[in-house]
Structure 1
């Protein structure tokens, strides 16, 4: 007999009998959507005799894995009283119904919905995809970023990385970043910084090429190794600037402390008065942390 009531079951007691692989980036998007919306659509299970598990999953592997990833201990579920064969057929039907569309099909449908005047929010509601994901996708579609769309559809890169790369204003920069990411030379969090470096480098080249007094240089196509080196050089440069700033700060603190001790000396104070240097010392002490603490 089937139970139409929704039960809160322990996730650890549910066995995934027929696991299926999934696009890790797409699954991460589903997990984020569940976490943001707070919606917990029930899964479907059946009771089993097993030493470790009490239930076998029929439908809802994605939801089960998403809630597990979010650290949930319980999940809403329908419990069906059916045998293993019927459960297998139901699971197979669900998997067939959720087959990922061929490359570009899903994006084409979303593009058509967008062209029909539907808002990103309406598309999100109709497709079950998060508003953030739809907004990112429609941006890529509107810019004609076909290569990036293909990379997202194939699961090569997450859509958030595709959006970062789409903002690159450097000839060949998109292909370069995708290749560098695929080869593991750069991490997702580095893309924004590298994009800024490439854009600055490209702006410099464009400015020189438009200068009638300069000699036009042919832009050299970067390799992934050269891209990595540019990024490392940029990091080294910033590290040197930081070290120099810390060196100056230490010396200012020392100077401030020296002036503070000297200001307590009557002879030194007398010299400052005679030479009209009191204001100079005050400025030095005011603009250092040591001096500021004693204001």
Structure 2
């Protein structure tokens, strides 16, 4: 339910709060999660050796419930106390409606651990569906509002491949949104502009080119091709094979053309670098370097 239209509950989890020790039997886990056994075992050992470093966060339940409190954040610590045979656990008690309970859980998890990208994206989407604006989500999660706007647009369009590249850190969110909005010719133009303005470097350009090719051939979502383009007949298999042969022939032809262009460039530069006047001009203009692969090729030709 959107939060607009009702009074906002001001909750500041990071502020100093009174810690209460509450019996475990009075607390319940509303939406329990299955945990990795090894990770949970390490948590139990850590608490047994060092004690509880951070209280769990709970909220009072509605009247008539068997338990007096529900866990907002700290299920693992709560279950570790149960495994250790403890009778009570330190808690921070807050009063919050359903939307604010979700928000508190998200904020505490952001501060407490390195969350997975999938969890973060899911949380951003849920907050948007609950009526929070991109600016409000940015304020609550300490993320840039442009990043939030871009991610929400990519989520709405099902751009799983682009989102994964953004979250891995090698695809700028601005470039990802341009790719999502543009057709093939516009994508090419956007990549040229990004390269010329320095947004993309050489290696990034190659990786993005591969990503765009996979997105075009296999779809925006992972595994999408298997559902929409299954080759169930010999004719489809033959068509796919012939298309791949044509693609490889074109790739070989392009490679030959590029090799010829490179040879011309290397020959021309080799002649220019043998000219003392040209070398003096380069030093005057403070042009002291060139791409290493090209320099190695020229050096090989000259030696």
Kindly name which structure, 1 or 2, has the bigger radius of gyration based on alpha carbons.
Answer: 1
Q: What's the TM-score, normalizing by structure 1? A: 0.31
Q: What TM-score does the superposition give when structure 2 sets the normalisation length? A: 0.30
